[in-house]
Structure 1
């Protein structure tokens, strides 16, 4: 099994005919993803040739869903149009919307994540690398060739740290890796992924990657203490970040004593989570836990 994304997932790409959409659709197809269509109202009725597969372009998400049975969309549209794109996907009955776009205004993210939640659509992102169930399906921009299928579940705010841990633990492999994004408002949380991995019989251990800013990791620690019985290993980015500076992600800002890496590390360790000082040490912790399980 995997969480949220499997080989049965049928994927639409909103913004497929743009430069980024074309590049990453090609990569998704190469990873075995069942990309069934793209969406661009100005190019409806055409096909995009990816060599091994010609993918039809639809005028709307609803047309794509009705023609293909798509249940996932990956959104590569510019920030100004992201709210409308996600809302369109939700209204078309898409079950999972993966929003790669960065720079979306926070009030737009608040609006479309609330709309999605009310309609039963899961949003991953925005400003995220997407998610991959290695050997099954890849929805987003995560490189598919840096790891293997296995029994680790990974949830991360950081795209680059997701890639590093996937690579360092490639010999063990992953059930699903989810990049939830680092914006102040995201559609899927650490807790959502922790719950799904806890219920997934093919996930034996969970890796949680957090970063400075907000209290998501502290809330995740409380959830782990109360509800997660599988081993969890963590890493927090930002121990050297200066106070009051936004670091990389819009949500990665420390104000006073709130949201510091030290506070997050302490909360996770109090919940029984081993926290590595570096990504490499985190990978070694995972290997040690699995060896002694």
Structure 2
């Protein structure tokens, strides 16, 4: 099985006619994902990549039965696009846009509280259920179907660890890029809950980094129950200088808070197996399967 998306997911793309939207929609179609239309105000009634275009998300959902949307529009318009999809009742919204203003994201979070929508992102590489559905910009060449669930804050490390896992015969149930911004949609805790309920996910890998509270929140959640599946984590940024942003908005350690060492300690105390780096993730997963 999988979490959030599968072969039955029907995807529309907000911003499909732009250069990036065209490129990544075409990639997803070639992969076999079920994309059913695009949204571009003023171009409703036309076709692009042989898919119908609509002026609004509401129209697209009504005509196509879409239950997921990829938001790939410029940062100044991303919040309105996400809110439009939320108000149209789209179940899963994936936003890959970077540099969405934080005050805009507070409006998105307010809209989410009054809905059943699951938002992945922004500043996310997307979500991939191998062989079934890709939404976003995540590479697929190394991905293989399997039983390892991955939730990640880092796009580049996701690709590296996914490749290591596949090479070792450890396919993935679903890989989720939770996004690199401080204010975002689903995080590690929601992914852990979904993976726990997925009967075909046998182990979970968390790819963390400095800044934010994703890792601390995951550790607090894991301490509240017997999770029933092994969880492996790698947290990068052990040597990052404090007070300096590293890469994107969510990666910032200030006054000794949110450091890699602190996060690793919380996760280890919650029973998570810690891998020092990407190269050790496969051996860490193997270690969880060895007799005690």
TM class, shorter-chain normalised?
Answer: over 0.9
Counterparts of residues 83-232 of structure 1 (less than 5 Å): 83-170=79-166, 171-227=169-225, 228-232=227-231
Distance 1:291 1:136 in 2: 31
Q: SS of 1:44's equivalent?
A: coil
How many Å separate the matches in 2 of 1:78 and 1:42?
Answer: 17
**In the aligned structure 1, how far is the partner of 2:289 from the partner of 2:113?**
35
Give the alignment's Cα RMSD to 1 decimal. Answer: 1.2
Equivalences for residues 20-99 of structure 1 within 5 A: 20-49=20-49, 54-99=50-95
| Aligned 8 A contact 1:113 1:123 in 2 | no
| Counterparts of 2:286 and 2:130, CA distance in 1 | 19
Aligned residue for 1:233? Answer: 232
CA deviations over 1:220-270 (Å, ceiling 9, x no partner):
111112232210000001111101100012011111121000000111111
Whole-angstrom distance in 2 between the partners of 1:44 and 1:3:
32
Q: Could you list the per-position Cα deviations for residues 95-122 of structure 1 after superposition, in whole angstroms to 9, with x for gaps in the alignment?
A: 1110110000011112112212311111
- Describe the superposition over 1:60-109 as per-residue Cα deviations: whole angstroms up to 9, x where unpaired: 11110010000000000001001111111111111111011000001111
Q: Is residue 16 from structure 1 mapped to residue 12 from structure 2 by the alignment?
A: no
Provide TM-score, normalisation by structure 1.
0.96
Q: Distance in 1 between the 2:97 and 2:246 partners? A: 18
> Distance between the aligned counterparts of 1:93 and 1:286, measured in 2?
38
Indicate if the aligned counterparts of 1:45 and 1:58 stay in contact, CA closer than 8 A.
yes
CA 1:18/1:266 → structure 2, altered by over 3 Å: closer, same or farther? Answer: same
Q: Distance in 1 between matches of 2:109 and 2:17?
A: 25
- CA gap of 1:168–1:292, structure 2 versus 1, over 3 A, is farther
Unaligned runs of 5+ in 2: none
- Structure 1 residue 292: Cα displacement: 5.0
Report deviation, 1:178.
0.3
- For 1:210 and 1:194, how far apart are their aligned partners in 2? 14
Name the CA distance, whole Å, in 1 between partners of 2:98 and 2:23.
Answer: 17
User: Is the contact between residue 254 and residue 260 of structure 1 (CA under 8 Å) also seen in structure 2?
Assistant: yes
Query: What is the CA-CA distance between 1:291 and the residue it aligns to?
Result: 5.5
Maintained 8 Å contact 1:239/1:261: yes
Measure, in 2, the Cα distance between the counterparts of 1:169 and 1:24: 24
What is residue 270 of structure 2 aligned with on the other side? 271
The count of corresponding residues between Structure 1 and Structure 2 is 289
Question: What is the CA–CA distance in structure 2 between the aligned matches of 1:187 and 1:201, rounded to whole Å?
Answer: 24
- Give unmatched runs, 5+ long, in structure 1: none
Question: 4+ runs of 1 displaced by more than 6 Å?
Answer: none
TM-score, normalising length: structure 2: 0.96
